[in-house]
Chain A
Amino acid sequence: MTEQELGALMVAYQQGDLGAFEELYRALRPRLMGYLLLLVRNPSRVDDLLQETFLQLHRSRRTYMPGRPVMPWAFAIARHVHLADARARSRTRRQEYVASDALPEIPVPAEADGLADRDRLQQALRLLPADQVEAVVLNQVWGFTFEEIGGMLGIRSVTAKVRAFRAMKRLREILGTDR
Chain B
Amino acid sequence: MDEHELLTRLKTRIGPDLAPVRPLAAPGLRALWLLATWILLGVTVLLALGLRQDADAVGPWQSVLLSLVEVAASFALVRAGLRSSIPGSSGSQWTAFAWMAVALCLHLLTSWVMLDRSDLSPPRGQEFSDGLRCLVSIAALAAAPFVLAAVLLTRGVLTWHLLPFALIAFASGLAAEATWRLHCPYSAWSHVLPFHSGALLLFVLVASVGARFVRRSG
CB–CB A66/B157 < 8 A: no
CB–CB A51/B9 < 8 A: yes
C-alpha gap A21/B15 in the complex (Å): 10
Interface residues as binary, B5-45 with A (CB distance below 8 Å gives 1, 0 otherwise): 01101110111011111111010000000000000000000
Residue B93 lies at the interface, judged by CB distance under 8 Å to chain A: yes
CB–CB B23/A58 < 8 A: no
CB–CB B20/A54 < 8 A: no
Residue B121 lies at the interface, judged by CB distance under 8 Å to chain A: no
Given known pairs A18-B11, A72-B88, A154-B90, the reply for A63 and B157 (CB within 8 Å) is: yes
CB–CB B15/A18 < 8 A: yes
Q: Which residue of B lies closest to A153 (CB)?
A: B90
CB–CB A58/B94 < 8 A: no
CB–CB B23/A66 < 8 A: yes
CB–CB A75/B88 < 8 A: yes
CB–CB B10/A80 < 8 A: no
Rounded to whole Å, the gap between the CB of A43 and the closest CB of chain B is 11
Q: Which residue of B lies closest to A61 (CB)?
A: B21
Q: Point out residues on A near B: beta carbons under 8 Å.
A: 14-16, 18, 21-22, 25-26, 29, 47, 50-51, 54-56, 58, 60-66, 68-69, 72-77, 79-80, 83, 148, 150-156, 159
Q: Could you give 12 example pairs across A and B, Cβ below 8 Å? A: A16-B21, A18-B11, A21-B18, A25-B10, A47-B1, A55-B13, A58-B17, A62-B22, A63-B86, A65-B24, A80-B159, A151-B90
